[in-house]
Amino acid sequence: QGRLPEALAVCMNALTATSRRDGESEHLAPYAAVLYQMMGQIHLEWNELEQAETALQKCLELSRFMAAGDWQAYSFTALSRLQWARGDLAQAFAVLNQVTSESPRAGIAIATWKTRLSLVHSVEHPDAMNQAFSWAAERSLQPFEPYWTSFETLTLIRVLIAQYRLASHAASKALPD
């Protein structure tokens, strides 16, 4: 877990510094949103779900002051991860359906995360795998440049592996003993 305690301390210290500046709160809100988002991710990593949810909700509240729609999408993705950690896959999907950003990056991140959730959902509902396959059919493997597309590429690799395993399992069942 690296130096997450130190990272959390830096975020908390920065938030304390921004809260001391009277009259600038609206201008500092986007920066505070980023800090809350980071704190939420750290708490999520530690499985401190209540603290994660509080921080991520605060991030969403403050991110309305941001010009970039990506931050809200990333916060919704984190909230979706939180719902998944709680074992509520339906709510994890519902959180992602709330995203209204028109940012291309946000759209890619949300569609990719939904595909990852579909892979998880397919364990109990094999038909959910078809959604992941449909998503994968529209993509090709790409290099990890720019960095933000790597999540999409890694998800595509996961879907292709699942597709291969499913096909090889079906082929082995078809062979006579």
The vertex-126 CA angle with 169 and 104, nearest 5°, equals 110
Scan for tokens 């082995």, then name that residue: 172
Cα–Cα distance for residue pair 161/108, rounded to 1 Å: 20
- Tell me the mean pLDDT in the region 53-59: 93
Q: Find out whether the peptide bond into 146 is cis, omega within 30 degrees of 0.
A: yes
The single-letter DSSP state of residue 72 is: H
- Six-digit token pair at 166? 């499913």
The vertex-36 CA angle with 69 and 2, nearest 5°, equals 110
Q: What is the pLDDT of residue 97?
A: 92
**Which range is least confidently modeled, 17-31, 67-81, 127-141, 149-163?**
17-31
Residue 69 predicted with pLDDT over 70? no
pTM: 0.78
